[in-house]
Chain A
Amino acid sequence: MTRSAANNPAGAKAIDEPQPLAVSEMVFQGLKTLASLKLTVVLFALSIFLVFAGTLVQVDKGIWTVVDEYFRCYFTWIDFQIFFPRSMEIPGGFWFPGGWLIGGLLLVNILAAHAVRFTIKARGQRLTIGLVVLAIGIILTGLVIAGVFQQDVAATEDAAFWRVLLRLIKGGVAAGVLLAGCMMLFNKRAGIVLLHAGIILMLLSELVTGLYAVEGQMRIKEGQTVNYVYHTKDFELAVIDPSDTEWNNVTAIDENALSTGALINDERLPFDIQVDQYMPNSTLVRPTQAPNLPNPATAGTGREIIAVEQPEASGADPNQSVDVASAYVTFLNKDTGEPMGKYLLSGWISFQDIPQRITVGDTTYLVYLRFARTYKPYSVHLIDFRHETYMGTNKPKDFSAHVRLLDPSRGVDREVRIWMNNPLRYAGETFYQSSFDPDDPTVTVLQVVKNAGWMVPYVACMIVATGMCAHFGMYLVSFLRKRGTA
């Protein structure tokens, strides 16, 4: 214990201290409890169990479901079943603290520990200089994270090696300054203070990512220009009014509104929609393949094909795929409520760019159930897509997309290349060469990620590593020195 007050019985202190300080003593005692290493160990044990359970459950559930149900929540329900082979039926389960609760408590624990145990040792001039250096370090860290040292359109033309090393060096410089400050202020405990600060940064960055990061994809065929990203985690019901020749008027209904039995009554739409059945994941079969299956659809593409509900794609599946939703819906006349036919809407059908056509008055509306879209102020035009494999195999070796980036709002018009591990960073978003279409060699799929805190892990990694090296380095020196006495 570094603070002498902590070792004195509280009663003895009260004699010569005025009353208000007894409150601060209580706060201090409360902090001490929160700062206990026992709590740390318990939280580590809980998090290990949570991560383990969150891995096992991925045998059955999709990775995104698991992230939401296990890690990005306060409490989670864990089934006993996940610990046993799926051939045995094990009922029941138990409540368990979720990722945010454990992470939050770890944060409290670590902060309390620093409030109680890690006191500033420096005095006088050393204190001043230490604080100044620390402040410089913090500002530097902030600037690196904010991306001040980055270009606006950062398409990388050199190897991953340099790019990543450069980021790590930036983080390393910041960490070095921080360490210098910590050493002046905390002496021998500088390493621990620094590495804990890095951990805090990392926990916060996961929180920010969990709350604010948005992932989407762009699928572009050579010669095509695309100005939206779609999100494979969500579907939307899109109704398009094509009557304006220049702009398509799109009305999108969010997936959350599309549950079985729901009635969609939206004033922007010329009709109401009754959702008869909603399938978060599905496959399509031809009636000839499954003659016994009833076909609910009375109109549209659904008359020739039947949707069958599928279990969610699992996270441990090596061929992990996305869920593709389908729905049977009945369109209803807005005024009379009269049904206008029961249609099959399916992601599978929309992939082929086949709309369901509903006519109201003079206008024929196009309806899709498709991946949710976000429209962007910029657009991406694919000039050329290349896809190489290793000699004599089908193993992919390299993909590379040559695109033209157009953004009238920022006055950007330039050609860039995006290839494996060499993304384009633009306007706070990052574009990755992510996938291709096995049936069409001219189609590229770009992953588009918006995450303001993407630099944080690079910096935090260097801060923690620097702290650990400083701390264990000291131990190692004494370890090697002590050998003679051992």
Chain B
Amino acid sequence: MKSFAKFFPVIVAVLAGVWLMSKAAPPSDAPTEMQVNEFGQLPLVYQGRVKPFDTLARNSLVIISDRQTWKDSNGKRQPAITWLLNVIAQTPEARTAKVFRVENPQVLEVMGLEPRSGFRYAIDEFTPKIAELDKQANRARALEPGQRDAFDAHILEFADQVHLYTLLVEAFRIPVLQGQQDVQRVMAHLQRLERFPLPLVIPPDEGQDKWKPFMRGAVESMVMPEGGEVAQTFSDILGAWINKDTGAFNAALGKYQAMMRLKLPPDQMSKLGFETFFNHFEPFYHCAVLYVFAFLLGCFAWLGFTKPLNRAAFWLIAVTLVVHTFALGARIYISGYPPVTNLYSSAIFIGWGCVILGLIIEWKFPIGVGNLVAAVTGFLTLLIAHFLAGDGDTMEMMQAVLDTKFWLATHVTTVTLGYTATYFAGFLALIYILRGVFTRSLDKPTEKMFGRMIYGVICFGLLLSFVGTVLGGLWADDSWGRFWGWDPKENGALIIVLWNALVLHARWGGMIKIRGMAVLAIAGNIVTSWSWFGVNQLGIGLHSYGFISSVAFWLTMFVLSQVVMMIVGMLPRQWWASSGNFEPRDPRSTPDALPAT
């Protein structure tokens, strides 16, 4: 038994490692089949960045279907890339693949669709109603954002999905020329099309720097055949895909790859391959799963077999952190930006910071608390990130004013770490309250330990949020000469700084003790969430009539849950399950204020 207890953590960590390795194995095509994974690595430019087809396929399918895979007519799960191939080659299967996600009953009614399990529909099922959809979408678009109701929002969302699909089809349509005078008609159509953000497939020729959409390349190849080899080969690939001709597909693909290798620098080619591997690996999903396991281990540790289970959880989290860190690094490598550029990446980064903090705390105070906070925050932030990823590419290019990597690397990273520490203190406090109120496991020494952990993390949070916020101000000064503009996002960050300062001063003044500090630290969760998500909701949130966005809804739920926990924390001590561990307090005793030094 003793040796099992010793080896148990090792076994858990090794199992997790092996599982992750197996998931990381890059996808490969059997040599006798069409090399669709190879196709997925081909380059294109979309939303301002060179990326593989695989990324376009996944992002588009996530927008349309909320999934990265789809079911073919035989009910078999297929990767996104085969769906994209069907769409751009315009095979009949593209029109019958049930991928469009429509859940709103009113939208279903407008589109003449019946609710079904899974709520996914093929474009052929609602093609006759697309004119009606356009009408409704134009009506909704004409409204001020605040005047739109839930139906309008869903109509717009669905219209965007159909629009994206149409754009993909049109961008890859091979134009049919009927005689020389027809060129003008096709060119006019092309110019109209190019006003939309198309995926650009044809790399620039030597001495040029502009990528072109496939359709332009195809038209040019018809007018002057010698220049359009790339477009021609690409249409060969699509043609072979339609005919399900494996040999022709692989031959055309090989030729196309050779051309790309001449046109693109080698490091860019290898980056494309890496991004495809990264897409396939889905590291954040696997991290989330492992954080749940670690959380379960941490919970079981309370029931018995405590030390080995806690150590197993610790090492499981450590292994997961390696992958989490790798994935963060991979995003930096692929996008060329520092870790935090948008809400999605901030969620991933906050989770990462929390996990590291949790492991440090667990290392210093091996009582299972650091593990729990690490696992819970790691999982929750990745979950939030998953929901934020619905808009497509999570590695978007920045608006010019934001495009200063130095500031992203300093201000944004620091302020996000400030959020991280404030959340971490809040979650420590939650565990403290839960243990004290609902279990008997909280005693005086443990309480003191909680007090020191929460205090230390809040100090850390104050330092980071202050420096981060001021750096934000300096960025503003450096960009447009205004150190502090009192705009909503700045104010949100300022409130976090002030809040942490308030908690610390109240503690130094002896106005609150450990319990009071815990209750205020939970309020810190609310303050941080307000700054993270709340201020973004301001513009539409308070203007809206009866319709509340899902972010605002979950934010409200979270705030309410924290308020409930604060009330629970303020329950008189004698109602706490752990009250037996504490002697009744002498009201005359001196408050255990920390010295201000």
Residue numbers of A with Cβ under 8 A of B are 36-38, 40-41, 44-45, 47-48, 51-52, 54-56, 58-59, 63, 66-67, 70-71, 85-87, 117, 159-161, 163-164, 188-189, 192, 202, 205-206, 209, 215, 315-318, 390-399, 420-421, 423, 430, 432, 434, 447-449, 451, 454, 457-458, 460-461, 464-465, 468-469, 472, 474-476, 479-480, 482-483, 486
Contacts and interface: CB of A to CB of B under 8 A. Distances in A.
Nearest to A431: B481
B48 A390 contact: yes
B470 to A, nearest CB: 4
A486 B445 contact: yes
Contacts of A483: 364-365
Contact of B495 (A51, A85, A430, A460): A51
A56 B538 contact: yes
B539 interface: yes
Contacts of B498: 44, 47-48, 51
Contacts of A448: 481
B146 to A, nearest CB: 8
Interface in B453-481: 456, 459-460, 462-463, 466-467, 470-471, 473-474, 477-481
A391 B200 contact: yes
A44 B462 contact: no
A55 B470 contact: no
Given A392-B48, A393-B197, A395-B48, A37 B508 contact: yes
Interface stretch (B103-111, B311-319, B542-550): B542-550
Contacts, number: 201
20 contacts: A41-B505, A45-B502, A55-B491, A58-B488, A59-B538, A67-B485, A85-B542, A85-B544, A160-B404, A164-B474, A215-B482, A390-B49, A391-B45, A391-B210, A392-B48, A454-B481, A460-B470, A464-B467, A465-B470, A483-B365
A389 B400 CA distance: 8
B403 interface: yes
B48 A55 contact: no
A90 to B, nearest CB: 12
Contacts of A36: 509
Contact of B479 (A52, A55, A317, A432): A432
B482 A55 contact: no
The majority secondary structure among interface residues of chain A is: helix
B474 A391 contact: no
B450 to A, nearest CB: 10
Contacts of A460: 470
A377 to B, nearest CB: 20
Interface string B390-401: 000000010111
Interface in B164-193: none
Contact of B403 (A37, A420, A469): A420
Contacts of A192: 596-597
A391 B491 contact: no
The bracket for how many chain B residues form the interface is 35 or more
Nearest to A393: B48
Interface in B370-405: 397, 399-401, 403-404
A70 B485 CA distance: 13
A218 to B, nearest CB: 13
Given A392-B47, A475-B459, A317 B200 contact: no
Contacts of A472: 459-460, 463
B511 interface: yes
Nearest to B44: A392
A114 B356 CA distance: 37
A67 B546 CA distance: 30
Contacts of A37: 505-506, 508-509, 511
Nearest to B486: A67
Contact of A392 (B211, B365, B474, B485): B211
